Structure 1
Amino acid sequence: MITASRAVGALAATGAAALLLSGCVAKADLAEASFTVSSTADACTVSSTNAQSGTLTFDVQNEGEQVTEFYLLADDGLRIVGEVENIAPGASRTLTVTAQPGDYFTVCKPGMLGDGVGRAGFTVSGDRVEVAGADSEQKAEAVSLYGAFVKDQVGQLVPSVEAFVAAYVAGDDETAREMFPQTRAFYERIEPVAEALGDLDPRIDYREVDAVAEGLDWTGFHRIEKDLWVPAKDALNADGETPAWQDWAPSTTEERAEFGDLLIADVQELYDYVHSDDFQAALDDQGIAGISNGAIALLDEVATGKITGEEDWWSHTDLYDFAANVEGSKMAFSLVRDLAAAKGDDGAALVEQIDAGYAALEEALAQHGSLSDGFVPFTDLSDEQRRELSDLINALAEPLSQLTTTVLS
C-alpha cells in the first residue's frame, strides 16, 4: 500500500447505517446533484456543503502541483464512505456515491499522505433511500456473494499468516520468503475492507517510508519483509533518499516474535470484523455501489503502488500483489457486470470495454508468471514492459471509473 488514505469505497466501514452508502435503490426515488471540487496545496473547495439524499457526483479538479485525492468521510472523520484518488496535476476525476441522510466531511489529500487539507462539514438531508426496483433481488444476491468472497479470503488469510509467522519466528527465512507473496495475495484481493477500518490496514500493510512520514510504529507484512530480504549496505529506502540501514537493524529473535504476534492479532481482528453484524450491515447499506467502487479501488491499488515497484520494496514481489488486486477487482466487477450490461446500449458497450481491458491486462501479466507458479521479480521487468502494464491499467481504469454511475443509472 501507499498510505492509509487509500481506503476507497468503504466496502466495510463500521458505524451507524444512516451514514453509509447504498446502491440498491430505484432510480425514481433518487435525487441527483452534482458538485465541483477544487483541490490545491492548501485548500479543498466544494461548490456546496449540503445536498439531498440520493446520487451525488463530485467533479474533482486538481489545481495543485501534487497528485491528490478527494474523500467523503463519515461523521467521525475517519470512516471513508467515498473516495477518488490518483488525480494528477491539471487532471480531473469524478466520484459518484449514493448518500443517505447524515453529517459528513469532505477533504483533499495533496501528495496522498497525511490528514489532508480543507476538511469541511457536508450535510445530507432528506429521507433515507430505500431498496426498491425490479432488480433488487439481483443486487441483494450480488452483495451476499461479495460478502461470502471476503469471508473466504480472510478465512484463508488467517492460517496462512500463522504458518508464515511460524517460519519467520523460527528463523526459517527460506520458507518464510516463499510464503510471503502467496500469503499476501489473500489480503490484496480484499484490501479495501481493511482500509475502511481506521488504522488496521496501516498496522498490517504500511511501508516503512509511510510509517516514518506519519510518526507511526512500523509493523506488519513489510516490517517482516525487510528482515527476510536484508537490504544491501548501499540500499536506499523507498523514498529514494534515506539509507536503508539508517536507524534500523535486523530484528532479534524476541523482536521477530513480537512482530509476528502483532500481525497475527491484526489479521484476527480483520477476521472477527468480517464475521460480525457490523460488516453485514455495512455491506447491506452500501449495496451495489460498494461492490462497484471496490472494483475501482483495487485497480487503483495497482496504479498507485504495484506498477511503481514501491509496494514490496525489499522482496520485489510486487507482481503477486498486482495479480491479486486485479483478481479482486475483476471478482467485484463480475457481480455487477450484468446489471451494467442491462443499462441499454451504453451499458453493454461499457461492459464490453471493461471485459476487453481485463483480458488484455491479464494476458500481459501472464507473460511474467502467475500466482500459482510464481512471478519474476519486479526488478526484472524492462522499462518497456513496465510501460506496457501501466498503459493497460490506465486503459482499463477509464471505463471502469464509469461503472458505478452506470449501475446506479
Structure 2
Amino acid sequence: MRAVRLSVVTAAATVAALTAVTGCAEKSDAKGDGAVQVVAKDDSCEVSKTKIPAGHVELAVENKGSKVTEVYVLFPDDRIVTERENIGPGTKATITAEVKAGSYEIACKPGMKGHGIRQKIEVTGAAAAERSPEMDKAVAEYRTYVQAQADETLPRVKVFTDAVAAGDIEAAKKAYADSRIGWERTEPVAESFGDIDPKVDVRADGLEEGQEWTGWHRLEKALWQDEKLGAEEKALAPVLYKDLVDWQNRVGKAEITSTSMANGAKELLDEVATGKVTGEEERYSHTDLVDFKANVEGAEKSYALLKPVASKNDAALTASLDTQFAALNTLLDTYREDKDSYEFTPYDKVGKADRKELLDAVNALAEPLSRLAAAVTK
C-alpha cells in the first residue's frame, strides 16, 4: 500500500531508512539535455520542460521541501505511468520511464498525501528507438503473470470474506494473510489505477479527509484488535470482494512497459522498507513477513524477465542483483514456520536486531535495483 502519515518517532526512523533504501538516488545528478528537472517543494512542483519527446524519459527529481514527497507521471484520468515514493527532504532521485505521445501531468505530493501539486506536460512524436523483441516478450510474460496473480487471488479472498460475513473470526484470521499474497506481489500495477488501492489496502492513518475506511486493514483491526465482527464489518466483506473483482477485471488493461516493470520492482522494495520492516503494514495481525516475502517475489519476477536485456547492458549490475536477491531470500526463509509453507514467524516476535538485519538486506538489494530501469534502456 502507499505510504501514510507516521508518528514523529517513526517518521524520523523512516526517513533514515528511506535514505538507505533509495540507494544511489541521492547521489544522482541527471542533468543531461534529455532529463526533465523536477524540483519538489512543500508548496510547489517546478518542472523544467513541459514539452518532451516520446520514448524513454528521465526525471531528475530534487526534494527541496521539508517533507517526504512522492513524484508521479499521470495520465489525464489519474492512472499512473510511473512514480517514485518516499523521496526524503534534501535528497534526489532519478526516474526512468517509457512514455508515449499524449497529455500527462507531473505531480508532487509533499507529505505523500492528497491530490498533489501538478504541472501539465505534453509528450510529442513517436518513440525513436526500435521495439525490442526481448522487451516485448518480457512485458507480455509479466502481463500474464500479473493477470494470473489476480485470478488466483480472488478465490482466496472469497474464503476470507465469506468467513467474515459469517462472523467466523478464527476462519477469517486463518485466511487473511493468504488472501493478500497475489496483491502484494503485483502491488505497483494495482496502484497504477489510482482508485482501487485506497479502497482495499489503506490503513487508518492513510485515510484522506472524509474517506470511509474499507478493505483488508479495516477487517484486520476488527479481527485482531477488536476481536469482533459486527454488522458493519460483515457488510464490508462483500465490498472488499467486489473491489478486488474490479482489480481482476482491469489488471489486464494496465499500462505496462519494461521501465514500469523495473520501477515497480524498486517500489516493492520501498514498500518493504517503509511498511513491512517497520511492522506498520500488518500492525494488528503481525503477518508482515508474508507481505514482505510476496513483495520480494514480485520484484524478483520483474527482474528475472528483464534480466536477459539488463545483463547485456550491465553484467555487473545483474551479478549484484542475483547475489542480493539470493541473500535476502535466504534470510527470509529462516523465518518460515515450515520450509514448504507460506507461514512465517509473527512479526511481533521478531526482535529489534533481527529487524535491522532484514532492513540491511533490503537496502543492499534496493541500491542495485534502483539502477535496473536505466540498464534496460541503454
Give TM class, smaller chain.
0.7 to 0.9
**Unpaired segments ≥5 residues, structure 1:** 6-30, 233-249
For the 8 Å contact 2:268–2:298, the answer to whether it is kept is yes
For the 8 Å contact 2:35–2:60, the answer to whether it is kept is yes
1:264 aligns with 2:241: yes
Measure, in 1, the Cα distance between the counterparts of 2:220 and 2:115: 27
For the 8 Å contact 1:103–1:121, the answer to whether it is kept is yes
Residue in 2 that maps onto 1:10? none
Residue in 2 that maps onto 1:20? none
The one-letter amino acid of 1:104's match is: Y
The structure 1 residue matched to 2:219, chosen from 215, 220, 224, is 224
Measure, in 2, the Cα distance between the counterparts of 1:401 and 1:312: 26
* Structure 2 SS opposite 1:72: strand
Identity of aligned residues (%): 39
Residue in 2 that maps onto 1:35? 36
For the 8 Å contact 1:33–1:55, the answer to whether it is kept is no
1:123 aligns with 2:119: no
Alignment deviations for residues 35-79 of structure 1 (CA, whole Å, 9 cap, x no partner):
222222111112222212222211111222221111111123x11
Q: Closer, same or farther in 2 for the Cα pair 1:231/1:172, shift >3 Å? A: closer
Return 320-329 or 136-145, whichever deviates more.
Answer: 136-145
Task: Map residues 243-258 of structure 1 onto 2, 5 A cutoff.
Answer: 250-252=228-230, 254-258=231-235
For the 8 Å contact 1:35–1:58, the answer to whether it is kept is yes
1:194 aligns with 2:190: yes
Residue in 1 that maps onto 2:356? 387
The Cα of 1:231 is off from its aligned counterpart by: 4.6
Measure, in 2, the Cα distance between the counterparts of 1:48 and 1:129: 18
Task: Map residues 151-190 of structure 1 onto 2, 5 A cutoff.
Answer: 151-190=147-186
For the 8 Å contact 2:54–2:126, the answer to whether it is kept is yes
Count matched residues.
350
1:64 aligns with 2:65: yes
Measure, in 2, the Cα distance between the counterparts of 1:59 and 1:97: 12
The Cα of 1:389 is off from its aligned counterpart by: 1.3
The one-letter amino acid of 1:366's match is: D
Measure, in 2, the Cα distance between the counterparts of 1:123 and 1:273: 26
For the 8 Å contact 1:32–1:54, the answer to whether it is kept is no
The one-letter amino acid of 1:385's match is: D
* Structure 2 SS opposite 1:103: strand
Measure, in 2, the Cα distance between the counterparts of 1:387 and 1:4: 21
The Cα of 1:314 is off from its aligned counterpart by: 0.9
For the 8 Å contact 1:3–1:206, the answer to whether it is kept is no
Return 319-328 or 169-178, whichever deviates more.
Answer: 169-178
Measure, in 1, the Cα distance between the counterparts of 2:275 and 2:354: 16
Measure, in 1, the Cα distance between the counterparts of 2:370 and 2:223: 37
Alignment deviations for residues 245-300 of structure 1 (CA, whole Å, 9 cap, x no partner):
xxxxx542x3233111101101111111235xx34xx33xx3x2222222122222
1:351 aligns with 2:318: yes
Alignment deviations for residues 157-215 of structure 1 (CA, whole Å, 9 cap, x no partner):
1111111111122222112111111111111111122211121111111111112x432
The one-letter amino acid of 1:70's match is: V
Residue in 1 that maps onto 2:372? 403
For the 8 Å contact 1:32–1:56, the answer to whether it is kept is no
Over the aligned positions, Cα root-mean-square deviation in angstroms equals 2.1
Measure, in 2, the Cα distance between the counterparts of 1:58 and 1:307: 28
* Runs of 4 or more above 3 Å deviation: 2-5
For the 8 Å contact 1:2–1:311, the answer to whether it is kept is no
For the 8 Å contact 1:56–1:99, the answer to whether it is kept is yes
1:307 aligns with 2:302: no
Measure, in 2, the Cα distance between the counterparts of 1:353 and 1:231: 45
Residue in 2 that maps onto 1:241? none
Measure, in 2, the Cα distance between the counterparts of 1:66 and 1:144: 38
For normalisation by structure 1, the TM-score amounts to 0.81
Q: Closer, same or farther in 2 for the Cα pair 1:293/1:373, shift >3 Å? A: closer
1:215 aligns with 2:210: yes
**Unpaired segments ≥5 residues, structure 2:** 6-31
Measure, in 2, the Cα distance between the counterparts of 1:131 and 1:155: 34
1:378 aligns with 2:347: yes
